């Protein structure tokens, strides 16, 4: 019986799967974003997030543990020097998977997997949203009201004079 052995083998042997995930993790760390299938991306997320979490503490032991998985000096250096600085205050969730549709040849679901703090487009979009959600102070609302007032006066001049319109214009 295979109770509690739920694991996606990705159609590969253990050695092949470990080598593939190591290479994909190295590519993700060096390039910050890679294009792959959804199943591989989900397996990679489980593989790489503990390594990124280990990089928060820059000790010889943690470097050796990460190097055992990645087998790339450049990737380990990049992880401990650049990425660990950006993710120092993040409690988890270092990667993001963005689905982009199905592949033409075999109809496999494809996606991007990327490091969360390195997507410039999403960071710009997030900053723009923060700017629109802030409340306007009286100083910033005054120029908007002054700009709206001449437009209101122009529409009042064209419309026939009624007591209700005069009261609104006076306000």
For 79-88, how does the pLDDT look when each residue is reduced to its tens digit (9 = 90+)? Answer: 999 999 999 9
CATH architecture type of domain 14-118: Alpha-Beta Complex (3.90)
Q: How far is CA 64 from CA 18, 30, 71, 87, 130, in A?
A: 17, 18, 10, 20, 40
Least confident residue range of 5-19, 27-41, 44-58, 112-126: 112-126
Exposed, middle or buried, 76 (CB in 10 Å: 0-12/13-18/19+)? buried
Would you kindly state where each structural domain of the chain is located, as residue ranges?
14-118, 135-170
Q: How many CB atoms lie within 10 A of CB 27?
A: 17
- pLDDT at residue 105 is higher than 90: yes
- 60 or 6: whose pLDDT is higher? 60
Percentage, residues of the chain above pLDDT 70 = 75
For 67-79, how does the pLDDT look when each residue is reduced to its tens digit (9 = 90+)? Answer: 999 999 999 999 9
Contact status, residue 114 vs residue 31, Cβ threshold 8 Å: no
Note the pTM of the prediction, 2 decimals. Answer: 0.70
- pLDDT at residue number 47: 97
């Amino acid at each position: 019986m295979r109770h509690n052995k739920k694991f996606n083998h990705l159609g590969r042997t253990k050695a092949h799967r470990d080598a593939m995930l190591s290479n994909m993790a190295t590519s993700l760390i060096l390039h910050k974003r890679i294009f792959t299938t959804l199943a591989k991306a989900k397996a990679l997320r489980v593989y790489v997030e503990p390594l990124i979490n280990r990089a928060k503490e820059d000790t010889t032991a943690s470097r050796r543990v990460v190097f055992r998985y990645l087998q790339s000096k450049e990737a380990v250096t990049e992880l401990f020097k650049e990425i660990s600085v950006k993710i120092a205050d993040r409690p988890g969730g270092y990667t993001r998977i963005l689905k982009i549709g199905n592949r033409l040849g075999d109809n496999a679901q494809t996606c991007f997997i990327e490091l969360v703090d390195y997507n410039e487009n999403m960071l710009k979009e997030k900053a723009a949203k923060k700017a629109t959600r802030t409340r306007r102070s009286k100083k910033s609302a005054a120029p908007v009201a002054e700009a709206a007032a001449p437009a209101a006066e122009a529409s009042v001049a064209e419309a026939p004079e009624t007591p209700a319109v005069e009261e609104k214009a006076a306000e």
